[in-house]
Every structure is written in structure tokens, then in C-alpha cells.
Structure 1
């Protein structure tokens, strides 16, 4: 993925460019070998629903790791297995970013994370700010599909809200965009 959502970045020798493509190209059975075929297909169906609610003409591909680890050791960063993030640009260098991903947490647990963030206009540049987020740790391996579905539903709700970074900045009590 383009960035770990939490924690430090891994050392440069551990950064791997993800594979990208349509949801039907993602090797979900290899990424989640513990899931039965019906659950793999359920993940695909949820991902297709996400594709359907994105902006007209959106072509942002899904991304996945090229080297999945079934159960990692705890890491000092979040490792993204699979997901999508897409940016909607606004005028004057402003943007909204929407994220839905399945990750290995720093403690080695599987989780689903979703977020909406905005460009930073603070005096000290923070690059972006998460203005709303959802993080669901997957306890039993068979709870991945409900967690991913909840993340996708939250993402759909954010997409139904105003797609206006100023609106989200105000909701999060962040400084307004500077002219």
C-alpha cells in the first residue's frame, strides 16, 4: 500500500511495492489461506460493492502484498495485506482520501482499517489528518468477512456524506484551508 496507517515506516529494505489490479485479479485465497472459498468470494463481493459506490469513473486499483505472511511476528509497523485507497482532489491543493484495508497490526493480529482523511492546513504541516476511522481487530479468523463488511459499510457512509474536505475539516475541528 502507499503508506502504513499507524506506527513507523518499515526499514527501506522491507518496503515492497504492492501488486495492483482489479478485485478479480487479487489472490485473496493466497492472502487469506485460512478462509474457506465461500468467504473468499464474500470478500470479493464486498470489494465489488465498494467499487460500485466510488466516484463515477474511479479507476483506483486494489492493492495487495506480493509476499503474504500467514501469521507474522509482532512488528514495529503496520503491514498492509490488501486494500484500496483513493484520493479525491479539490481545488487549491486540497484533497480527501478514503482507505479500506486488511492489515497485520504491530502486535501480529489481523485487522480491518478504514479511514477518511484530509490534507493538513495546520501551521506545522502534518501532511494529512484522519478525520474519522474504524479499526476492527479480527479475533477468530472467521470474523474477517464481517469486519471487512463493516469497514466497507463505513466507507460507503463516508462517501454518501459531503465529498468536501472543508466539511470534514470542520467536523474534526481542524484549521480551515488557507487561501
Structure 2
């Protein structure tokens, strides 16, 4: 399911989330949406089937996310991601990353060239982790929008 952040079904995805926390998430999401104005971006996406922990499995079950595609023309790729996910241990986390296409001798498909994972727990709430990831994402979006710039930052081969 996809749409604006205002369309996110909070009671379905996070039924125990207090209204003040939902407000905090909305404020943070507006920051991202304001930075993305005029970009060819995808909408926010959510996956009600992942609202409860699906158990350990291959892959990361995404509950809520945004993929800001700056460049993906079939030849190269530059994406900025923000996702609320389940960890293998059954905890919520907020992941954000800059992702580029791979030009290594061995094709790895893509690389996260900068990434952060903030697990939700006793010391970090969902709104705090989400806000910190939004700050990181908006900072990345202010950097050059050239995939080779990001590859060079981590020593990956250019296109």
C-alpha cells in the first residue's frame, strides 16, 4: 500500500503507538516531504502484513518506508531509503541508507554506502529513532546527487 504519510494506517501498523508519538512521526515525515518537493520520488509505502513480527526469516520485513530515487536509469542507481523494519530478534528498528549500483569486478548488485540502524528499545523510542533517521536522510539529500560521488566516499569503483 502506498500514499502520503497522512494515509498511513497507524492503528493497523502500530496499534499501541500513543497519539503523541504519531504526531511526532508526522512532524518528522513532513521534513522529508518538504526536502523531496520537486523530486521524482516514490510515495510512502506500508505493509500491514508485517504489522506483527513474522518470525526470523531471510530478508528484512519492512513495515513502513520511503525510497527516494535520485537516479535509476537501468545503467546506474542512487537511492536514499528510510524504513521501519523488524530485526531478526523481533525488535523494531529504523533503517536509513544511501544505496548505489555496484560496479565491482564481482557484481554485488547494490551497495549501501552509508547506513544507520537504530533499534527501538528501552532507551530509544520509535519517534526518536525515526526523527534521527529523518535528520540523516535530509542531510544525505543535501549532498551531491551523483552515485560516483557516493562510491568514492567508501572506495567503491566508479561507473
TM-score (norm 2): 0.91
SS at match of 1:67: helix
| CA RMSD across the alignment | 2.0
* Consecutive aligned runs of 4 or more in structure 1 exceeding 6 Å deviation: none
- Decide whether the 8 Å contact of 2:69 with 2:80 is kept in 1: yes
Change beyond 3 A, Cα 1:141–1:104: farther
Instruction: Look up the match of 1:81.
Output: 63
Note the alpha carbon deviations across 1:73-93, whole angstroms, 9 max, x for none. Answer: 344432100010121126782
The 1:142/1:134 distance shift into structure 2, 3 A limit, reads closer
Distance 1:55-1:132 versus aligned 2 partners, 3 A rule: farther
Contact 1:20 1:62 in 2 (8 A): yes
1:134 maps to 2:116: yes
Q: 2:75 aligns with which of 83, 87, 93?
A: 93
User: Structure 1, unaligned stretches of length 5 or more?
Assistant: 1-18
Change over 3 Å in CA distance of 1:174–1:30 after alignment to 2? same
**Shift of residue 123 of structure 1?**
1.4
Q: Is the Cα–Cα contact under 8 Å of residues 40 and 69 in structure 2 kept in the other structure?
A: no
Cα separation, 1, equivalents of 2:80 and 2:151: 14
**8 Å contact kept, 1:34–1:141:** no
Shift of residue 44, structure 1, vs aligned partner: 1.6
* Structure 2 equivalent of residue 3 of structure 1: none
Separation in 1, partners of 2:129, 2:5: 18
Distance change >3 Å, CA 103–CA 159, structure 1 → 2: same
Alignment correspondent of 2:127: 145
Normalised by the length of structure 1, the TM-score is 0.81
